Amino acid sequence: MPSAKAPARRVSTYKIVQTVLGILFAGYLLWRLYVVFIGNPAYGSDTWARFIISGVILGSVYALIAIGYTLVYGILRMINFAHGDIMMIGAFGGYFVFEALKAIPAPTLTDPKFTFSDAHPIIAVLLAFIVGSSIAALSGFFLEKIAYRPLRGAPRLVPLISAIGASIFLENAGQLLFGTQRRDYANPLILTRGDGWNLPIGGATVILPYTGVLTLVVSILLMVGLYLLVMRTRLGRSMRAVAENKQVAALMGIDVDGIISRTFIISGALAGAAGVMWGIHLGLVYYYVGFLPGIKAFTAAVLGGIGSVPGAMLGGLFLGLVESLGPAILGISFQLKDVIAFAILVLVLIFRPTGIVGEVLTEEKV
């Protein structure tokens, strides 16, 4: 029967094109890997170590933001477009804590310029994380309450546009409140950016920055905490139930709206912590700081399989590594590293829309 065959053949041509493109791309990648590592090595092992260090650190920040996307997507099946801007709010929260603590003098005999945050770096950093996370969590809560909750049950485009609007609003509120200039994060003296342990690799010393280690440790702690929260606690169980099926969850006596609120609070807190890390490690915060990390973290979430928490963590680390290693491997300029992230997003969505560890999505959900 020709009428039955026609659609089947069309799908297979698409598959063929997909496979051919995939093989071409993989071949190109292998060739580049050969050129870079064996044929004509341009960088020594110390440079690669530097790339990997910065990639892992960046990746852990992406992973934290990506978890926020994944949690919200898992429950509401919507992209929280304003998530990156929540991160910006958190980054500014931490910035103001450091500025305030820097204003308190704590002079010692050796150094009269010593300030409170230099004298008690642990308290300062903890306070920055707590304040940044809480402000971000609060904004996440209000964001959901104002811009998303009234739209429950509307067509999917409607909350998405509302999210875009909220993102624009937050970004420009940030611009009007804090101005356009980039601000330096006033780290405690011990966490001065650029300082770190010197590791001898390949005949040169590679710096393992203190700020980077702090970022990595904090994000691993937060991720483990979140995993335990989702898998072991009552709240986590309710969240999973709501993600599975809202109506049945409501029938089981779960307060669906309350759980959604809490999900936004948790994802906001993680984004806020990521913002503070961004500030401590990379140093500059400004109103637009959340945009690119937000988009990239979304890429990471898709890469790992949106809706899956471990997937978001893996995807974040993978994206961070690819971003720092990619330009060197592909032999393109570092200006184009943002293109790599977007290209990966497109490639993943074409070849494996379920991501690395994603659940099998029905077409209805994609």
Partner 1 sequence: MRKQIKLSLNAGITFGIITIFLFLVGFTSTVADILAELFHNKAATSLLGLTPQMLNMLIFLGLVGLWAGAFGSRKEKSRSDDPWGVAVLDSLITGLVHGLLVCGLVLLVGTLDLRGVRMNVYLAQVLPAAVKLFLLGKAPLAGGLFYIVFMLATGFLGGLFSRGIGRGSWRRRSAAAWKNTWESFNRLSFVTQVRGNPITRYVIYGLLLLLVFLVPLGAGQYWNYTIGTVGIYVLLGLGLNIVVGLAGLLDLGYVAFFAIGAYTMALLTAPAPHHLLWSFWIVLPVGVVLAAITGLLLGTPVLRMRGDYLAIVTLGFGEIIRILSKSDDLTAFTGGPKGVTAVGGPTLFGKPFNSAIDYVYLIFLAVLLVIFVTNRLQNSRVGRAWEAMREDETVSRAMGINTLTQKLLAFAIGAAFAGLGGAIFASRNQFTGPDDFSLMVSINVVAVVIVGGMGNIPGVIAGALVLKGLPEVLRQLQDYRVLVFGALLVAMMLWRPAGIIPSSRRKMESNKDTGVTETPKEGREG
Query: What residues line the site for partner 1 (CB under 8 A)?
Result: 77-79, 96, 99, 146-147, 150-151, 153-162, 164-173, 176-180, 244-247, 295, 298-299, 302, 332-333, 335-336, 338-339, 342-343, 345-346, 349-350, 353, 362-366
Q: How far apart are CA 300 and CA 304, in angstroms?
A: 6
Task: Report, in Å, the least distance between residue 355 CB and partner 1.
Answer: 12
- CB of 4 or CB of 122, closer to partner 1: 4
Q: How far apart are CA 153 and CA 196, in angstroms?
A: 51
- Give the residue among 304, 319, 350, 260 at the shortest CA–CA distance from 71: 260
Q: Give the torsion sign (CA, 311, 314, 316, 319).
A: negative
**The CA-based dihedral angle spanning residues 315, 321, 325, 326, taken in that order and rounded to the nearest 10 degrees:** 10
The DSSP result for 153-207, as a single string, is TS-THHHHHHHHHHHHHHHHHHHHHH-SS-EE----GGG-TT-EEEEEETTEEEE
- CB of 156 or CB of 232, closer to partner 1: 156
Task: Report, in Å, the least distance between residue 319 CB and partner 1.
Answer: 13
Task: Report, in Å, the least distance between residue 364 CB and partner 1.
Answer: 4
Residue 122 burial (C-beta neighbours within 10 Å; 0-12, 13-18, 19+)? exposed
- CB of 62 or CB of 210, closer to partner 1: 62
Task: Report, in Å, the least distance between residue 132 CB and partner 1.
Answer: 16
Task: Report, in Å, the least distance between residue 36 CB and partner 1.
Answer: 18
Q: Give the torsion sign (CA, 321, 324, 269, 125).
A: positive
Task: Report, in Å, the least distance between residue 144 CB and partner 1.
Answer: 12
- CB of 122 or CB of 157, closer to partner 1: 157
- CB of 127 or CB of 151, closer to partner 1: 151
- CB of 190 or CB of 339, closer to partner 1: 339
CA distances from 191 to 93, 133, 283 (A): 18, 20, 11
